[in-house]
Amino acid sequence: MAEDMSIDTYLAAGGVLTSPANVPPRYRAELLKLMASFVDSELAGAAGFADMINDGPGIKERIAAAKIVLEKTDSADRVLRVMADFGVETDRYATHHPWTARLARDADIGARRSAHDMRLAVFNYPLSGWSDAVTMNLLMGRAVTVQLADLQMVSYQPLAEAFRHIAPTEARHAELAAEGVVKLIAAGQGAAVQASVDYWWPRVALSFGDATPAKAEALRRFGLRHTGGSEQKTRWQAEAAAILKTHGLQAP
């Protein structure tokens, strides 16, 4: 970094940081929040879906579900290793929070996080059977794909590299969910899938955040966000609606 250039200017111009040693305090705080939100969401999502494995209607579905749980946990571990460079006690992380904790199905917390961890609000709601789990993963999988398109460009290089490794895996999870929806509809469960779409759509939509203009601008200056949450949500709505339409389903 040029000596006469501020860290904000350097990052806003597309500069990258490579180690905790050259990360300023404000940037460090936002970076750790970003990583914790991803890790906590992956672990909570994996924990919730793990309970659905034995609800799979066949061996192939159960293998796919188990693979998703394994890979989401591995993705969390990959980002945790980046957090470890900042002094986070990763050995305790997996057991420190109640990852399986869920609210009532009819709870309404908006975009608020739980008191337990930094998971996205959507991961505080329980899954209700196999078709509901597959539908949720279809919608959330597409949301994660959209979010990772931006996260792969974060200005902390080791994290950007981790996200670039994770992105294809998450995209495949969304594809598996789409395949699962096709099978559910073929088995006559279209109405149940549509009911789950209606339930999860607004909750997944809240995953794109409600950052204040000042907070969004700070993240942009730090190079921790390049596309705003509203823009990402608009892209997700269009892509998810198109996918649903191909299966004879409707976006709320």
The predicted pLDDT at position 4 comes to 40
pLDDT at residue 1 tops 70: no
Q: Are 129 and 49 in contact (CB under 8 A)?
A: no
pLDDT grade for 97, boundaries at 50, 70 and 90: confident
The predicted pLDDT at position 115 comes to 66
- Listed in sequence order, the residues at least 6 apart from 66 whose beta carbon sits closer than 8 Å to its beta carbon are 53
- What homologous superfamily is domain 21-101+114-246 in, according to CATH? Ferritin, core subunit, four-helix bundle (1.20.1260.10)
Q: pLDDT tens digits for 108-152? A: 888 787 767 899 999 999 999 999 999 999 999 999 999 999 999
pLDDT at residue 2 tops 50: no
Higher pLDDT, 11 or 195: 195
Residue 55: CA count within 13 A, CB half-sphere: 14
Burial (CB count within 10 angstroms: exposed 0-12, middle 13-18, buried 19+), residue 109: middle
Residues forming beta bridges with residue 156, ordered by sequence position: 17
Domain map (residue ranges) of the chain: 21-101+114-246
- Listed in sequence order, the residues at least 6 apart from 94 whose beta carbon sits closer than 8 Å to its beta carbon are 43
